[in-house]
């Protein structure tokens, strides 16, 4: 395995680690307050990095609107739906639902970018969705006691939110793709997208609507966990995947980085002391196999 492929594996592991860290603070603060704090910390780090590297010079005026829309849909709506899903269904189910962004992106690329969907992609899409169904419906043993395996409220609401998160992420990427192909600095593009998310989240909380206010007072420990989650996912994870794409084969890198639903299982096992159910492992495995067929087509 090359260093680029190892970087893709490390990116998937980093995202899994971030999700496990995020579960507690997200439930404690609420999805909106958690996401605003998380994105605010990431924004500071990204802005400082871009200021040092001079990445702003690659951004043209015609790039701003697509990146603003991408941030609005992909990060503000997408991440908010993701953490709402996590608070309802736990990190395992939310990540397996979010993994459907691969088949959704394939379908959107076919509809709006003229990309072809060959038989291999169709099979991959079907396998991914089969894996998701197995992991969601049959992925818990009756003997498991962890609150992360509890479903709060109707399951269908969590499933809709999780699929909505995947759809928003895919649409956000679709909008940003033509801009990124012009050579815009990735960190600069991410900074603008994150800035849009922070502004929207702050405006939402400024409305005073009780449902979007923090559920508890922020402690230093919680703030540290939120920062670690954001920096590990948006900073370390994205840096690793960009490095992997700089020298590795796109299909292999994409497949290896899509293994987050599998990497999250042993982390949950370590955290809770409860072994995930067999169908949770099987579902995660099918998601990886299906994603590999989609990316390799």
Which residues have CB under 8 Å from 183's CB, separation 6+? 58
Question: Is the CA virtual torsion 290, 292, 295, 297 positive or negative?
Answer: negative
Measured N-to-C along each axis, helices 101-112 and 155-180 cross at an angle, to the nearest 10 degrees, of 50
Question: Is the CA virtual torsion 219, 222, 228, 230 positive or negative?
Answer: negative
Q: Where are the domains of the chain?
A: 3-296
Distance from the Cα of residue 246 to its chain's centroid? 21
Residuewise pLDDT in 10s, the chain (297 residues): 689 889 888 989 999 999 999 999 999 999 999 999 999 999 999 999 999 999 899 999 999 999 999 999 999 999 999 999 999 999 999 999 998 988 888 888 888 877 777 888 899 999 999 999 999 988 888 777 678 888 899 999 999 999 999 999 889 988 988 888 888 888 899 899 999 999 999 999 999 889 899 999 999 999 999 999 999 988 788 778 868 866 777 667 777 888 899 999 999 999 888 889 999 999 999 999 998 888 876
Distance from the Cα of residue 72 to its chain's centroid? 15
Q: How many CA atoms are closer than 13 Å to the CA of 254, on its beta-carbon side?
A: 18
Distance from the Cα of residue 93 to its chain's centroid? 13
Measured N-to-C along each axis, helices 278-296 and 78-98 cross at an angle, to the nearest 10 degrees, of 100
- Cα(287)–Cα(274) distance, integer angstroms: 22
Residue 262: both structure tokens together: 């599998």
């Amino acid at each position: 395995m090359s260093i680029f492929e190892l970087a893709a594996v490390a990116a998937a592991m980093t995202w899994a680690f971030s999700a496990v860290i995020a579960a507690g603070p997200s439930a404690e603060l609420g999805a909106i307050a958690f996401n605003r704090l998380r994105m605010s910390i990431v924004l500071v780090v990204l802005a400082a990095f871009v200021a040092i590297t001079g990445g702003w010079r690659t951004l043209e005026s015609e790039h701003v609107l697509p990146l603003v829309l991408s941030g609005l849909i992909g990060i503000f709506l997408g991440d908010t739906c993701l953490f709402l899903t996590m608070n309802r269904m736990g990190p395992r189910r939310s990540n397996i639902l979010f993994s459907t962004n691969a088949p959704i992106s394939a379908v959107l690329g076919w509809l709006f970018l003229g990309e072809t969907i060959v038989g291999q992609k169709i099979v991959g899409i079907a396998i991914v969705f089969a894996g998701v169904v197995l992991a969601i419906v049959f992925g818990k043993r009756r003997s498991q006691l962890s609150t992360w395996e509890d479903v709060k409220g109707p399951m269908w609401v969590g499933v809709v939110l999780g699929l909505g998160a995947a759809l928003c992420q895919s649409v956000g990427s679709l909008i940003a793709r033509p801009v990124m192909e012009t050579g815009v600095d990735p960190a600069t593009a991410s900074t603008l997208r994150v800035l849009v998310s922070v502004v929207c989240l702050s405006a939402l909380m400024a409305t005073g609507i009780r449902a979007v206010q923090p559920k508890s007072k922020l402690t230093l420990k919680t703030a540290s966990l939120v920062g670690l989650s954001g920096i590990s996912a948006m900073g370390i994870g994205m840096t690793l995947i960009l490095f992997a794409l700089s020298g590795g084969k796109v299909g292999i890198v994409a497949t290896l980085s899509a293994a987050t639903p599998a990497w999250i299982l042993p982390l949950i096992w370590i955290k809770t002391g409860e072994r995930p159910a067999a169908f949770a492992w099987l579902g995660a495995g099918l998601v990886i196999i299906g994603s590999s067929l989609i990316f390799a087509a």
